[in-house]
Structure 1
Amino acid sequence: MKIVLPHLAIALLSVVAPALAVMYDCFGTIIDGDVVKRAEASHDYASTSKVALIKEDSKIPYTYFDIHTTGQYSERYTGFACFVDTAMTKPDVRKHHEETWWPCNRLT
């Protein structure tokens, strides 16, 4: 019975508290998901759909969420939320370069 209880507790915990999506910045550092959720819920930040140029001859829309250190329109940021395109099975992250969001470290 003592051996079963820890496994039961872990199983219940996984049902009660589902895991948040893991988020990375462009260097592969894990971003605190709670920070992203708080910022996303505030009026200063928003999830935005933007066109990312993956190749010169194609445009693929991706959804991204960026976390600014100061002000909504600041160019300084702490990281990007992972997002998934319909063709991807695992998250991908982007980095900002001029006016385009380019592929960053792909998590495959």
Structure 2
Amino acid sequence: MKNKIKFSNMVLVAGCSLIALFYPTIAFAESKKEAYAYMNTILGVSVTIAGFLVIFAIIKSGMKLATAQDNPQNRTAGLVGLGFAFLGGYMVFKALDIAGWLHGFFGL
């Protein structure tokens, strides 16, 4: 449990550092178009990192499922892990579309 908390904290810090890295350029952008260009860069980097994490989760869950043999708890954990990995992968895949919808609906 402690390892999961440490990993989630690392991901949170990495995401915040990406925003902090690009914040001055977004805050002092001369136009909305330039600010959107910076935000698209941040989103692209985040999607790339998340894509690699999804691949890692699929491999890890697949290995757990493959090595489960007669242990029903490990088999269930592997199947649930694969399900959530694919769900997370779909969310990462649709992240750019969701950002586009927010921009279209609210002008964010």
Bigger helix fraction? 2
Task: Name the TM-score class by shorter chain.
Answer: under 0.3
TM-score, normalised with respect to structure 1: 0.21
Q: Which has the higher contact order (CA 8 A, sep 6+)?
A: 1
